[in-house]
Amino acid sequence: MTPVHLSFSSAFVLGLMGLAFHRTHLLSALLCLEGMMLSLFIALALWTLQFESTSFSTAPMLLLAFSACEASTGLALLVATARTHGTDRLQNLNLLQC
């Protein structure tokens, strides 16, 4: 594997593991999701640059636009959580717990 491929692949997997495993705050999970989006942007941009397929450089721009949508929705949910539960700690989101 080339170093570039290895680095953005491991960046994606690190963000995914950070999102999946034990979190304290909801904002930490959203930041890991943003880290995954960053690694995907770098991956698409490096695809464009290293394979010299220049018309593919619209793909990272469109990814960034959709990632902005997703980040803003996640932050709106964070604000709604902080308003109802007073904090964004995940142990407080236990309304459906038996």
Chain contacts with other proteins (rule: CB under 8 A): 1-4, 6-8, 10-11, 14-15, 17-19, 21-28, 30-32, 34-35, 38-39, 41-42, 45-46, 48-50, 52, 54-58, 60-62, 64-69, 71-73, 75-80, 82-84, 87-88
- Burial code (b: 16+ CB inside 10 Å, e: under 16) for 27-42 equals bebbbbbebbbbbbbb
Q: What are phi and psi of 83, to 5 degrees?
A: -75, -40
Question: Between 61 and 91, whose beta carbon lies closer to other proteins?
Answer: 61
One-letter amino acid at 93 equals: L
Q: Residue 15 burial (CB < 10 Å; 0-12/13-18/19+)?
A: buried
Pick 1 or 96: Cβ nearer other proteins: 1
Q: How many residues does the chain have?
A: 98
Q: For residues 2 and 97, which CB has a smaller minimum distance to other proteins in the complex?
A: 2
Between 1 and 98, CB nearer to other proteins = 1
| Closest approach of other proteins to the CB of residue 34, in Å | 6
